[in-house]
Amino acid sequence: MYQELLHQFLFGWFPYIAVTVLILGSILRFDGAQYSWRSESSQFLRRKQMMLGSNLFHLGMLVLLVGHLFGLMTPIWAIDAFGISHEFKQIAAMTVGGIAGVAGLVGASLLLHRRLFEPRIRHTSSFGDITVLTLLWVQLILGVGTLWWSMKDIDGAEMVNLMNWAHGLSVFDPDAPGWLIGAPIIFKLHIVLGLIIIFISPFTRLVHVWSAPIWFLFRPGYQIVRSRRPIGKPRNVPPGGVAMTGMHGGAKSRGISESGD
């Protein structure tokens, strides 16, 4: 009875609680503490390690988030309608997710090592900074670890159960947790830890994901050109004369000075 109630809470009620806290908490934080809405970068310290780790981590996480979103929320009938077999989808998910997961794990490992073993960074890191990065690191390990069970389930049966669970939650089906009763423990741990990360996001630096500069990809191009003109030399010189310097006198145009005025 206790195990059934815990299963119902973790996979039936907690997802709604986590998403609700994420949305409302983010709105309240933005409304009441906008100056805390930032990633709090420490890129001036161990910059090379930070850049490599950050690029690998963020690129891997972006691919994983998009893959999980579309992979879990796409209706099974839509996959079948396009003639995509469950086995092909399973192999594609393992390949793309495996590459992105390893990249994200390497990046997270570099960032966590940098934050824990660089004294200056460790001194300025809060408990929340280290906790969030550690949780993300463990989550990536669990995600990469699911590849072993996925290879043993190459026909995609477990993947279909996960998709049915996610779809059931999206339509508020109270029986949705039943799809995960027989799931391997590593999948359950991966899901629960993911929900915990979603739950705490509004209270940590993870809130900056809402401000991801996606618009940067679609902005018009700019080209910055360094001028060879000496500093202080007047610009926009009219033909046959020199520029006016302003209200406080200085050089007048040659045409005026030659008129005798």
Confidence band for 144, pLDDT divided at 50, 70 and 90: very high
Tell me the average pLDDT of the chain.
83
- Res 223: pLDDT: 57
Which residues, other chains included, contact 233 with Cβ-Cβ below 8 Å and sequence gap of 6+? none
- Res 230: pLDDT: 66
Across 39-48, 77-86, 120-129, least confident range: 39-48
* pLDDT per residue as tens digits for the range 57-74: 999 999 999 999 999 999
* pLDDT per residue as tens digits for the range 6-53: 999 999 999 999 999 999 999 998 887 766 666 566 555 566 778 889
Distance of alpha carbon 68 from the chain centroid:
13
- Res 250: pLDDT: 46
- Res 34: pLDDT: 66
